[in-house]
Each structure stands twice: as structure tokens, then as C-alpha cells.
Chain A
Amino acid sequence: MINIENLTKKFGTNISLDNVSCDFNKNDSVALMGANGAGKTTLIRSILGYYHPNSGKVLIDGLDPIKDRIKVLKNISFVPQLPPPIKLSIEELMQYISISADVDKELIKHYSDEMKLDISANLNKSFFKLSGGMKQKLLIAISLAKKSSIIIYDEPTANLDPKARDDFYRLLKQNEDEKILLFVTHRLEEVKNLVNRQIYMDMGKIVSDEKF
């Protein structure tokens, strides 16, 4: 359960989130939409506890994601908008994740296979040397292997070919039960079957919120 209450976040004079209030409950699968600069990423980063709000608060299962960052992040899987240029090898990255978040490496391999990404052949390759699509596939595999009750995707399909997108949506469909899924996307038709709620943001505000 995520509670967002009167959340305002400014960068200088720019108001990125303007008094946003919103709850997400178990079994909500949300398409989070809106023009570039609407505040979607800022909202997601606030949920992850990266930003100190100017006012208002975010609670995740009653916990503050900044003060209780470890407890909160144990239950969140996240794939960012752009795969970062991490210099660790795939092996090292998996080590980081398996030790810090208690994720089973075999499960990462399993989901990579499902995404048609052969990681065994690339274990010693630096993450940033993978192609854009391969990076995205690995991050998706990790997000699924980390058994979290909240899954957050910030435009994860940009680099994926249509086949990979289908694989991804299929896997997600199998894994979304009893969870909160937040999915930032510009292509509603693609995620229609996955989501049961649709939120539009504009200029830091939620302008529409429909469940169906």
C-alpha cells in the first residue's frame, strides 16, 4: 500500500509535483501517463525515497521511504527510464543484487532466458557494453527475480523490439498478482491488458485517475 499525501516537490522555482495526493493498493496495476516533464519520474523517485519533499508525505506500508529505506526497498523492484552506464560486469552486478537484496542469481538467469537474453555468454562483460535492448532485458529480469510487492517501471520498453515487448508483457502478466504495478508509458494500447487503472499527470498534478 502506497499513500501519497499532499506531496509537493520543487526544484528551484520549478514545481515538479504540485500537492499530489493518491493511494495505490494491492492489485492495482497502473498506467502512469502524461507529457514529458509532467512529473512522472519525480513521483516515482519520491516513492523510492530519493527526494526530500518540500511538503506532504509518502508512506509505503506505513513506512517513510527515506527513514526506513532498507525495509521499504526490500519490497520494491524498479527499472529506470534509461539503463545507467554501470561499469560492473554482469557477474558483479548480479553479485551486488543477490547479496544486497537477497535475490537468487538462478532466478535472474531464468527470467533472462525468458526474455531471450543469454547472460551466461556475457557474464564477464561490462554492463554498459551491452546493447540498449540487452541492458533493458537484464534490468527487467532482475526486477522480476526480486520478489517484490511493488513493481515500478519508468518507460522500460523504449529499447525493446516488438518481440521482446511481448515477452515482457507476458512475464509481467504472470507476475502482477497481489502486487502494486506502476507502469510509466506513452503507449496505452500496449499495456491495456495489463493495467486496471490509468492515471494522467500534467504539470505536476494528477489530472485524471480512472479504474476499470
Chain B
Amino acid sequence: MKNLYLIAYLDLKESIRAKWFLVYSLVFGGLIALFFIAGVTESQVMGFSGLSRLLLMYIQITIVILPIFILITTVRSISGDRDNHILEYMLSFPISLKQYYWGKVIGRFITVYIPVLFAMIIAIVYGSIKGSPIPWNIFFLYTGLLFSLSSAFLGIAFFISSIVKSSEVALGIAFFIWIFLLAFIDIALISLMMQQRLDEQLIIFIAMINPMELFRVAAISLFDPELTVMGPVAFYILDSMSRALFLFLSIIYPLALGIFFATIGFIIFKKKDLV
């Protein structure tokens, strides 16, 4: 156990010193703070419809930025260490591969999640200074949604990191997955829908197993519980399950996805040559 914490702690310290972490914290932390502050404090002023565009924009930006940041910074953690012979040295000490791998996962997760958490806290402080009542339920749900979106992509990143041999390839695959989830699936589904080849409910189901899409809908539903901006899609979603169940799934499913990919990554890491 002490080795697990040691690896996590050292990875965390190392990441926090890195330049990418600073950029990530400023860009992403700032965005989330703005999103939350705007959502919470301005909604009383503008009403939902006035605010919806702004919030949608923030959600959209989060969906674009968070996954790619996590992917490009994490995907090289193990493959990069292998490339430049850090693994060869660090693993010559009596540390189990399990402790090494999961220590890295935990360290990275904390690194990625800290700015998110700080941003939320800043937003809360700002909100209370401005005197608006703090909607704790939205706060916890949004934090939870970000938590599970982060873990999904962290898991995917560790999976990629352990299957490829070089960090360049890892980066390439990460970009591909990002673009694929971000755009191609939607484009493909829309064209299928227009040709009426597939049942609408099936199309919505396929769209929702994409963690990015699920996050988008769930985040919107925090401020627009009836999902009016989503149009007919909302009907299918809220018709097939209650809103509470939907939110529960949108937190549990990406989390499970992340753990699943990270675990497969570990099994591969153990089975393959280490250096």
C-alpha cells in the first residue's frame, strides 16, 4: 500500500510542476468557474432561456477541452516513460506492477481533477459573496459529472498508453478517439437518421453510450430539467427513464467505462514486455 501512495504522490508532484498543468488549470478551471457562476448567479437575472445559450456554450467547450487535455497529458505517462527508459530504471526497484500502474492512475486522476474542484469552490465562494443562494444539488451533480467524465477518459488514456509501444503512436490514437467521439459518431448517426435506416430509439441509445454525449445531455439537464433545448430527443430519454435514474446512469456509466479500460490496460501492461 505504501508503494501505491508513493507512486501516486510522486506522480502528482511531478505533474503539478509541469507546464501543461498550469495551462490546464487556468484554461479549464476558469471555464468551469465561469460556467458555474454564470449558471448559478445569472439564471435569476436572465431566466433560463436567456442563459441557455451561454451555458450550452460552456458545456460544449468543456466537452471539447476536458477529454483532449486528459488524453494528451495522460496517454504518454506509461508509454513515454517506456520510450525514454524511465521505466527501465524505476521498475528495477521492488515495486509490484500493480502498485506502479494504479499508483500512476490515482496520481493522474488527482492531478486532472484538482483544478476542476478548485474551480467549483471558487465559483461557490464567488456566488456566496454575490449573495445568491447556492444550489448544492447542482453543485454536487456537476462535480460528479465532471468526475466521471474525467475517469472515462483517464481510463481510456491509460489503456492506450499500455497497448502501444511508442508515445507518438499513443498520441495519434488519442487524437483519433477524441475526434471520433466528438464528431464522427454524431455525423454518422445524423446521416443514418436522415436515411431513416435505423430506429430513432436505437440511434439515441448509440449516441448516449458515448460518454461525451451523455455528459452533454446530463449537464444540460441540470439547468433545463425538461431538456427543452434538446427537442424530441428529450422525449425518448425522459420517457424511458426517470430524470433521477438518468442522472445516476450518467455518473455511473462513464466511471465504469473508465475503470473497465484502465483494468484492461493493466492486464495488458502486465502481460507485455515492460521495456
Chain A residues in the interface with B (C-beta under 8 A): 45, 48-52, 69-71, 73-74, 76, 78, 80, 82-88, 92, 95-97, 99-101, 139
Is there contact, CB below 8 Å, between B6 and A96? yes
Apart from A45-B88, A80-B92, A84-B85, what are 19 other A-B pairs with CB-CB below 8 Å?
A50-B88, A69-B96, A69-B97, A70-B95, A71-B94, A74-B94, A76-B92, A83-B89, A84-B84, A84-B88, A86-B86, A86-B90, A87-B18, A88-B14, A95-B10, A97-B93, A99-B2, A100-B6, A100-B93
CB pair B90 A50 closer than 8 Å: no
Q: What would 30 A/B residue contacts be, using CB atoms closer than 8 Å?
A: A45-B88, A48-B91, A48-B92, A49-B274, A50-B273, A51-B275, A52-B272, A71-B94, A73-B92, A73-B93, A73-B94, A76-B92, A78-B92, A80-B85, A80-B88, A80-B89, A82-B85, A83-B89, A84-B85, A84-B86, A84-B89, A86-B89, A86-B90, A87-B14, A88-B14, A95-B6, A96-B93, A99-B3, A100-B93, A100-B94
Give complex CA distance A76, B95 in Å: 13
Could you tell me if B10 and A88 are in contact, using CB atoms closer than 8 angstroms?
Answer: yes
Contact with A along B75-116 (1 / 0, CB 8 A): 000000000111011111111110000000000000000000
Cα-based distance from A96 to B100 in the complex (angstroms): 12
| A51-B273, A84-B84, A88-B14 as given contacts; A99 in contact with B6, CB under 8 Å | yes
Contact (Cβ within 8 A) B96 A70 = yes
Q: Is B53 an interface residue (CB 8 A)?
A: no
A79: nearest residue on chain B (CB-CB)?
A: B89
CA distance A51 to B271 in the complex (A): 10
- Bound-complex Cα distance A83 to B89 (A): 8
Encode B55-86 as 1/0 by CB contact (under 8 A) with A.
00000000000000000000000000000111
Contacts of A50 in B (CB 8 A): 88, 91, 273-275
Residues of chain B lying within 8 A (CB to CB) of residue A76:
92
Q: A96-B10, A99-B3 are in contact. Are A69 and B94 (CB under 8 A)?
A: yes
